[in-house]
Every structure is written in structure tokens, then in C-alpha cells.
Amino acid sequence: MSNFSTKNVVVEEEKKSVSKFLSYGVQEAAIIGYELKTAQSGKQQVILLMESPKVQDAGFEPDPSAKFGGKVGRVQATIYFGPEDKARVDEFIQFVAIIAKKLGVTEKVDAIESSNLEDYLNKLMPLIRGKYAWWGIAAEEYINKDNQVRYSLKFRRYGFMASLDEMKANPEHIKPFDKTSPYDYKAVAVPSADPDFKTQEPEDEMPW
């Protein structure tokens, strides 16, 4: 006859997995590289490869692309644009100028000139790579080919970055993330009652 008792039962601690990937929100991270996506039209999109500081959580296994043992993510820096799209080019250069200022490398970045986007990025990366700062990262949902809800990451349009010193002096130097704001999180209609949500991974397709 069975005896219902918890005496002498050893309870195993549940092991919680830690995601290898960056999520949306106000994040401390460094640029570790870039991707340049080219559309059939020839227009290009800049995606920055980002990594958080080293994760100390027990059991964390960083993605092979990690440089410092942190969480990694692909964050859209631009939409697709070409050299003829002056407004978009100017917007991207302003974006780079802000990064340079926050990282304290304005003079060196100002010395870079190129008429080719890829060449410009190759010259830029050694000056801004591996330097930590705080970033306001937004998310935009999309539905993939398997009818699952995913989200891609992109930088906030305004107030997207702060230096380590700025955040140390004022933790709200970057406006706190607000998932109810369409500027921080843009949702799509859910295709089913129980959508399969997943943090963006390197192989996920971008919605642009």
C-alpha cells in the first residue's frame, strides 16, 4: 500500500536557462561589429552587432559570436538607403556622430571620409568597437514564415544612447523603456491564441 509522505524526499533545484541574446530595453552594451544587408535595389541597411558585459550567471553559455562572454544581439541602425538618399545619409551620419561623442572619439571619427558605405564602416569600427555605453533599444514584432511572432531590435530614434558616466550620474539619463509606447515596442496582430515568442537570434530575418 502506498504511503503518501514527503519525508526524506530530496527536492532538486530547477535550473533556469539564461538567454544568450540581448533583448529590448535600456541595456549596457558594446558594439562588436556590423552587418551590411543589400537589397535587390542596391540599397543597404546597417545592422550593429552588440554585446552586453560578461554574464556571470551560473550555467550561462555565451553564443560563439560573443567576444567578451556576454549576451549578443543584432540591432538595426538604419532602414535601407542608398547614396542618393541624402536625408537618410545625413541621418546615419548624425547617428554616428552621437556614438562618437558618447564614446569620446569624436576627433578620430571626424577624420574619416569615404564615398562608400562599407569602406566607411570598416574605417569606423576600430574606433567605436568594444567600448561600453548604455543604449535605448526598441523592438518591433513581425510574423515569420511559420506564422510565429518574433521581434527585431532597433535603436530608439531619439535619446538612444548615453555614456557610462552619464548613466552613473543619472540612471534616467536615458528615458526608461516603456513597452506600452509604440516608439519603444511595436506589436503586430497575434496570429493565434498562443503565439511562440522568442528573443531575436542572429539567424532571424529582419522585417524591413
| Domain hosting residue 69, numbered range | 25-186
Give the C-alpha separation, 55 to 53, whole Å. Answer: 6
Q: Is residue 36 part of a domain?
A: yes
What is the pLDDT, as a whole number, of residue 1?
60
Model pLDDT for residues 104-152, shown as the tens digit of each residue: 999 999 999 999 999 999 999 999 999 999 999 999 998 988 888 889 9
Q: Is residue 64 part of a domain?
A: yes
* CATH number of residue 42's parent domain: 2.40.50
List all residues 6 or more positions away from 135 whose beta carbon is below 8 Å from its beta carbon: 26, 27, 28, 29, 50, 75, 155, 160, 161, 174
Contact between 93 and 115 (Cβ < 8 Å): no
Q: Residue 205's pLDDT band (boundaries 50, 70, 90)?
A: very low
Cα–Cα–Cα angle for 91, 202, 31, rounded to 5 degrees: 50
Contact between 131 and 103 (Cβ < 8 Å): yes
Q: Is residue 97 part of a domain?
A: yes
Residue 52: other Cβ atoms inside 10 A: 21
Model pLDDT for residues 59-112, shown as the tens digit of each residue: 899 999 999 999 999 999 999 999 999 999 999 999 999 999 999 999 999 999
Q: Is residue 16 part of a domain?
A: no
Q: What is the pTM of this model?
A: 0.81
86-103 vs 117-128: helix crossing angle, rounded to 10? 10
How many domains does the chain fold into?
A: 1
Q: Compute φ and ψ for 146, nearest 5 degrees.
A: -95, 15
